[in-house]
Amino acid sequence: MTTTALSIESGELAAPPPDVGGVRAYKGIPYAAPPVGPLRWRSPQPVAPWKGVRSADAFAPNSLQGVVFDDIDPTVCGVSEDCLYLNVWTPASPGSSDRLPVMVWIHGGGFVVGSGSEPRYDGTRLAKRGVLVVTLNHRLNALGFLAHPELTRESGHGASGNYGMLDLVAALRWVRRNIAVFGGDPDMVTIAGESAGSEAVSALMASPLAKGLFARAIGESGAMFATPSRSPAPLAKVEADGIAFMRKVGAANLKDLREAPAEAILEAAPGLGYRPIVDGRFLPKSPAAIFAAREQSDVPLMAGWNKDEGFNFTLLQGEAKNRPYAGLVREIFGARTDDALRFYPGGSPEAEEASARALGGDLTIIHSTWAWIEAQKTTGKAEVFRFRFDRAPLTPQRWFGDRDSKSAGAFHAGEILYVFDNLHAFPWLISDADRALARLASSYWVNFVKTGDPNGPNLPLWPSFRSGLVMKLDTPASAALEDGRERQVFLRDAAAQTQSAAFLRRSQGAGASSSRTS
């Protein structure tokens, strides 16, 4: 049976013509009502039904954002506060009874930029191998993660601040209700993401609101687990920040804040200041605590990071570029500075540069991802597969501004083009070895989406991480014993001490405040 339109819950959707491989790309499908006006900073609401046949041949605008990272251009599709749209790449014909596995991809960008329409996320090549690919937009920055006491009171749940995460839950619920129309199986959904998207995947595994909405999870370089320099913020702290934000915008109350131009909200928001929190609803407690209590969605997990994450996140950059390295380490580790310097030694400019890269990568990306994998391995029963992406793409000079591309190594986000098999998306200097690795990596990802196991015919064996083996994705790819564990255990212990000290300070502060007001 062949039709020219699909019937989804909100109306008729035009079926775009297939490409030469038979894949159709449905673009700009609303999964929730526009979060504007009175719906700003509210839970996502249902889409209003439309009449007639809606076109699905163009991406919708990106979530409101500015330019923050060199590899993300938000201007391609424009930006808007009206941003809750998704895209579906499917090899199934309209009217097909296929029930194919689904990968729902959550973009990166630090929760302040990014979209599902970035060329590197194009799902065509993966769809040709028999999976549906869904990409989406969600609310970002202050529009997605502002908390405020007034918002908490009006919510009916005693929570505020995780609107961008509630968008993701709404998108997964939409997928569950509608994806069969596109040939997808609602019981075989994999959530996947990179960087902030990977953090979101870890949070969705922890959230009670997302239970039953996915069957597997993939995380690339990021998790919402604590490091010595950062931990998920509690609602009370972020509410206080929200009060200061309201004053900065010049609003007297929540009504004024909702009526303020979206551009004024964006202008008042710090560059990387708003992100998911422990709000009491989406996350009743920290993801680490939820995993420790065995309350997570216990699904197969494939996760890891890139070998040279620290190239992008070295401590010696920005305002800290010319500061003494040992002083930066002391600000983070305090009484444990000597222990930290044993793992990240100084002593010479070369040693300090290398250690600043290693420590920056660990604090920003690697340790939180390691802690997430360890938590699932320890308290979950489902299978765990861990990877490290070791391939150093040959990027042209000036790709990283004034920094030497030859020193980038296997940098943050470098794996995305390989796992989507989209090496053509960026003007990198591609070799046959890169093409071979893209075929291999994308095969592992497709197999995991299909079965919960990356292994398949004619692929190097990827052992379970329960055996202690990590898959090194390079040319050639091979499994090896985990390395650097002692360093990560030190960071875990240091993070626990930091959180304990912060809890004590908050408790003392709460006690003092109570005595003053009683």
Q: Please, are residues 405 and 399 in contact by the beta-carbon 8 Å criterion?
A: yes
Q: Please, are residues 308 and 391 in contact by the beta-carbon 8 Å criterion?
A: no
DSSP state of 195: T
Task: Name the amino acid, one letter, at 7.
Answer: S
Structure tokens at 2: 């062949």
Which DSSP string do the residues of 29-68 spell out, in sequence order? EESS----GGGTTS---PPPP-SSEE--SSPPPEES----
Burial class (CB in 10 A: 0-12, 13-18, 19+), 443: buried
Closest of 387, 227, 367, 393 to residue 310, by C-alpha: 367
Query: By three-state DSSP, how is residue 126 classified?
Result: helix
Q: Is 195 a catalytic residue?
A: yes
C-alpha–C-alpha distance, residues 487 and 40, integer Å: 43
Element (H, E) at 479: strand 478-481
Catalytic member of 309, 352, 374, 415: 309
Ordered alpha helix ranges (H), 220-306: 235-249, 254-259, 262-268, 287-292
Burial class (CB in 10 A: 0-12, 13-18, 19+), 496: middle
DSSP state of 227: B
Catalytic member of 43, 117, 160, 195: 195
Burial class (CB in 10 A: 0-12, 13-18, 19+), 272: middle
Q: Is 424 a catalytic residue?
A: no
DSSP state of 319: G
Helix axes 196-206, 163-178, angle to 10 degrees: 70
Q: Please, are residues 134 and 105 in contact by the beta-carbon 8 Å criterion?
A: yes
Catalytic member of 231, 412, 442, 443: 412
Distances (CA, A) of 449 to 190, 191, 306: 6, 9, 21
Helix axes 325-333, 349-361, angle to 10 degrees: 30
For 343, other C-beta atoms within 10 Å of its C-beta total: 16
Count the alpha carbons within 13 Å of 466 in the hemisphere toward its beta carbon: 12
Q: Is 412 a catalytic residue?
A: yes
C-alpha–C-alpha distance, residues 88 and 206, integer Å: 26
Residues identified as active-site? 195, 309, 412
